[in-house]
Amino acid sequence: MNRRHVLDLDDFTADEIELVMQTTDAMKEVLARPIRRVPPLRGKTIVTLFYENSTRTRVSFELAAKNLSADVVNITASASSVTKGESLVDTIRTIQALGADVIVIRHSQAGAPYVVAQHLRGSVINAGDGWHAHPTQSLLDLYTIRERLGPVAGKSVVIVGDILHSRVARSNVWGMTRAGARVTLCGPATLMPPLGGDGLPPVTVDYDLDRALEGADVVMALRIQRERQTGGMLPSLREYVERYQLTPARLRRARPGALVMHPGPMNEGVEISPEVAYGAQSVIEDQVANGVAVRMALLYLLVGERTTELAAAPAPVGARR
């Protein structure tokens, strides 16, 4: 892969996405082994720098890096300390001086990974920045669809929920359309950002979930936050549930066997009913599992030692086989 950073999917070509998918296949094979550890990142240092809470994404990156034999340093920072005078740039310079090959950053401000990329000699992976992008989430979503339904091209994907504040929605609009899917964004009008023009690639917008679901191959529910009600954007969560909760009855409008996805963390009983979340069509746990493989693939493609094949790491001296 001819790139240094993964900041967004807007600059990924369809070929690059396919390369990530194929590399992920190889990583899945590694993960299926009894010893899930290969050496291509030996001697590399991966720093996860999280300015926002996250369980699955941080752990997923950490496991991915460790599976590739990298050293991992986890830093959790408070975004509030930035306003107290500790700047992001200072932090990056410090990490740079300590020696990092890759910084995986999660930040509540859109564009923060671009600031990091400008001040770091190594690679930057965006693990979510504000409302802007969450490229690795979209790549794992793409992989999960591909694994279950085959090629993503031509599939109909419905993303439902708080689109305005969702980096997952934005990255998936790029990723899914680049891979050839048709995307429908669905949610209340107050939570729908201005589209068209110089913005995101063309998508369909529908405020009516029942209609949007007709013939869908994939439906992805997004987390809805309570602040949207207190902020005046929603009359009540009750009405949201009424109109937008993904229920078994609604799901029947989609194509038989349509996949149910959610980037997590879920509000069960709000944007998704438990029956659907844990039902036969749900691939939510696959998403989490595939996350590790996709992130291994990206780390490998960005900084992996290409001469090293994905052979198993030599067993530690004295280990019994």
Binding site for another protein (CB under 8 A): 10, 82-83, 87-89, 107, 109-112, 114-115, 117-118, 129-133, 167, 170, 193-200
Nearest-approach distance from CB 261 to another protein, in angstroms: 21
Whole-angstrom distance, CA of residue 145 vs CA of residue 151: 8
Nearest-approach distance from CB 205 to another protein, in angstroms: 12
Nearest-approach distance from CB 230 to another protein, in angstroms: 14
Whole-angstrom distance, CA of residue 191 vs CA of residue 34: 46
- Tell me whether residue 7 or residue 38 sits nearer to another protein (CB atom): 7
The edge-to-edge listing of strands for the beta sheet with 123-129 is: 71-76, 45-50, 102-107, 123-129
Residues in the chain: 321
Nearest-approach distance from CB 151 to another protein, in angstroms: 26
- Tell me whether residue 39 or residue 113 sits nearer to another protein (CB atom): 113
Nearest-approach distance from CB 9 to another protein, in angstroms: 12
- Tell me whether residue 51 or residue 300 sits nearer to another protein (CB atom): 51
Estimate the share of the chain in helix, then strand, then coil, as percent rounded to the nearest 5.
40, 15, 45
Q: What is the DSSP letter of 246?
A: B
- Tell me whether residue 62 or residue 129 sits nearer to another protein (CB atom): 129
Whole-angstrom distance, CA of residue 38 vs CA of residue 155: 34
- Tell me whether residue 183 or residue 213 sits nearer to another protein (CB atom): 183
Cβ neighbours of residue 10 under 8 Å, at least 6 residues apart?
Answer: 133, 174
Whole-angstrom distance, CA of residue 319 vs CA of residue 321: 6
- Tell me whether residue 82 or residue 104 sits nearer to another protein (CB atom): 82
Asked if residues 102 and 126 have their Cβ atoms less than 8 Å apart, the reply is no
Whole-angstrom distance, CA of residue 59 vs CA of residue 136: 13
Nearest-approach distance from CB 175 to another protein, in angstroms: 14
Nearest-approach distance from CB 167 to another protein, in angstroms: 6
Cβ neighbours of residue 144 under 8 Å, at least 6 residues apart?
Answer: 259, 261, 283, 286, 287, 290
- Tell me whether residue 112 or residue 139 sits nearer to another protein (CB atom): 112
